Structure 1
Amino acid sequence: MASILDSVDQRTQLVGENRLELLMFRLGSKQLFAINVFKVREVVKLPSLNKMPGAHHNISGIANIRGISIPVINLRSAIGMRPVPINSEDNLIITEYNRTIQGFLVGQVANIVNMTWKDILPPPRSAGRSNYLTAITRVFREGNEEIVEIIDVEKVLAEIITYDIRISDGVLDSGILPEMHGRKVLIVDDSSTARRLVRETLLQLGLEVLECQDGLQALSLLKGWCDEGKKVTDEILLMITDAEMPEMDGYRLTHEVRSDPRMSDLFVALNTSLSGNFNEAMVKKVGCDRLISKFQPDLLVGVAQERLRQVLGR
């Protein structure tokens, strides 16, 4: 299965074209699930696990992969499915999120599919707020259409790892803090968990927060302001967008903003759990102003303060 991922580095241009590739798998049931290939480092057969006393109940143990100790999260139980016994045919999807490496215990790994973000849809409203999905899509396999549920990994991790949104001493600039009050920031992210963490961080500055769940929704909002004769930079201080989102990703959103002279000067920060040189290259390609790795409140605050200094001419 690792051979499936051998050419991942050659696929990075897909994101800039509003495309993605999904690694599909099952969790001991007929239902297909998926995560973005760009989060995946490799897929291996489940090795022996060492128990970790006192660990979260969704952590099955620690795997030693080429000398690196990796916590293994039982993805089935983490998203609320009935646990089933671990067996030798299970697989381990090793991922990198927010500068941390972890493995997800899954069942059968199916294949990788190339998709467009336009084919990735938000989960139905009837799924409720407590579901573990960021999106759904459809694929055809062996002549049959199957629903694929794309897992909100950030929510899974947030329930295991406590993210601290406190701002470190010395980060806040008291000289401009009063100027923050009443200014607005637009957050664009398909993960409700990610939006909440960014929102709670920015509220500490006195900022007001507007939220959109995908790039297309955000672009519609921005264009609506322009059509009404409003100046986007008067409406919001900056836009903080995720990279991966249904219908339109953050790279394409930024490209569309830069291509419209009515809002091309909007300050755009890419806030992403994707890691590596790929993101740095994409930031330059599409014209984002800053790259912020999730979830680092000090960096988030620093970018907001930097933008306000620009506005104030300080």
Structure 2
Amino acid sequence: MNYNNERTPGESSTEMIEILLFSLGGQEIFGLNVFKIREVTELSQVTQIPGQQGAMNGVISLRGQVLPVVSLGDAIGMSTGEPNSKMIISEFASRSVAFAVTDVDKIIRVPWSDVKPPQKYDSEEGSVFGVVMLEDGSLVSLVDIESVCHRVLPEKDATPVTTGFELNKAGPVFFVDDSIVARRKISEVLDTMGLKHSHAVNGVEAEQKLLAIASSANQNSEELEERVSLVLVDEEMPIMDGCTLTRKLKGDPRFKNIPIIMYSSLTSEENARRGIEAGVNIYVKKFDSTSLSNAIGQLLAHA
């Protein structure tokens, strides 16, 4: 089962998410964004490797590529003991990982506005970024595979922050991301660059906070750029996605001169095109500190 992660040109889908439903055993239903899936296949022979532990099951060779195999049920604490029979081959942020699951079901397509934030029942670095209700009332938990990989397959950030830009006159940066892992990394980049910053955890909260900042600046006869010099938006977020947020901000004359950078683990040209069409100035790969800091410096050094 292969997935074509390109949209048809002209298709209006910026507010939609396609979700592959799957099972980890038991009654719970889980989902992954189809854009991050290369294919689904039968669970093949897994080779054990020295030092593997926890949810890391070993590696497989798939069409000449060696991929780590992660038992998703073990990784998110939802293993029922039922054997895994399928592998979801996922690609995101230049990584390829095989997630072993019990079974796969079907693909559904829902508006991003139907994706609700999860309850704070798990650890701060939760494994679920959103929840969707199906027509029969069943709930689908959307797995945050970036956070899962951060815990199970941690890798050192090999992309250093680019410094040396003349940013002394730059105002604070505002960013929005629903992932605690991503927010921490973005904060590290901005701190290293010497930029003040504030943030929101989803698109709706970001819109509310930014509109409040704009109103306050107007009431105090201040330039908005003194309060917000740049906005960073994640493409994938519950309630309101990054493209929708960007279009809303660009539709407000007060934000006309405020540049926007979109970052995403979805790195196809089609995703970048959608972001640019929504109004972002630069589209960069998520968790790439060099690309992000270069983009920030490029926009703010000449502000």
Same fold (TM over 0.5): yes
Among 110, 113, 119, the residue aligned to 1:115: 110
Match of 1:281 in 2: 273
Is 2:34 aligned against 1:37? Answer: yes
**Taking structure 1 as reference, are residues 15 and 149 closer, same or farther at Cα in structure 2, changes over 3 Å only?**
farther
Match of 1:300 in 2: 292
Among 74, 77, 81, the residue aligned to 2:74: 77
| Cα shift at 1:233 | 2.3
Aligned equivalents of 1:26, 1:97: Cα separation in 2:
21
Matches within 5 A, 1:258-269: 258-269=250-261
Match of 1:172 in 2: 163
**Taking structure 1 as reference, are residues 283 and 10 closer, same or farther at Cα in structure 2, changes over 3 Å only?**
closer
Paired residues of 1:26 and 1:109 also in contact (CA < 8 A): yes
Paired residues of 2:276 and 2:282 also in contact (CA < 8 A): no
Among 239, 250, 255, the residue aligned to 2:242: 250
Among 221, 226, 236, the residue aligned to 2:209: 221
Instruction: Flag as ranges the 4+ runs of structure 1 deviating above 3 A.
Output: 10-17, 125-128, 161-169, 177-180
Unaligned segments of structure 2, at least 5 residues:
none
Code of the residue aligned with 1:86 in structure 2: it is: P
Q: Which secondary structure does the structure 1 equivalent of 2:132 belong to?
A: strand
Matches within 5 A, 1:27-106: 27-82=24-79, 84=81, 86-87=83-84, 90-106=85-101
Q: Deviations over 1:217-274 (max 9, x none)?
A: 1112222233342643221221111111111111111111111111122111111100
Among 19, 23, 26, the residue aligned to 2:20: 23
Aligned equivalents of 1:192, 1:108: Cα separation in 2:
29
Aligned equivalents of 2:287, 2:111: Cα separation in 1:
27
Paired residues of 2:39 and 2:90 also in contact (CA < 8 A): yes
| Cα shift at 1:303 | 1.6
Among 124, 131, 140, the residue aligned to 1:129: 124
Q: Which secondary structure does the structure 1 equivalent of 2:247 belong to?
A: helix
Aligned equivalents of 2:120, 2:110: Cα separation in 1:
23
Unaligned segments of structure 1, at least 5 residues:
none
Matches within 5 A, 1:149-160: 149-160=141-152
Is 2:194 aligned against 1:206? Answer: yes
| Cα shift at 1:286 | 1.2
Code of the residue aligned with 1:76 in structure 2: it is: G
C-alpha RMSD of matched pairs (Å) = 2.3
- State the percentage of identical aligned residues: 26
Q: Please, which moves more after superposition, 300-309 or 124-133?
A: 124-133
Tell me the TM-score normalised to structure 1 length.
Answer: 0.87
Paired residues of 1:280 and 1:291 also in contact (CA < 8 A): yes
Paired residues of 1:231 and 1:262 also in contact (CA < 8 A): no
| Cα shift at 1:201 | 2.0
**Taking structure 1 as reference, are residues 245 and 12 closer, same or farther at Cα in structure 2, changes over 3 Å only?**
farther
Paired residues of 2:276 and 2:283 also in contact (CA < 8 A): no
Aligned equivalents of 1:128, 1:54: Cα separation in 2:
26
Aligned equivalents of 2:121, 2:288: Cα separation in 1:
32
Aligned equivalents of 1:39, 1:14: Cα separation in 2:
19
Aligned equivalents of 2:44, 2:238: Cα separation in 1:
34
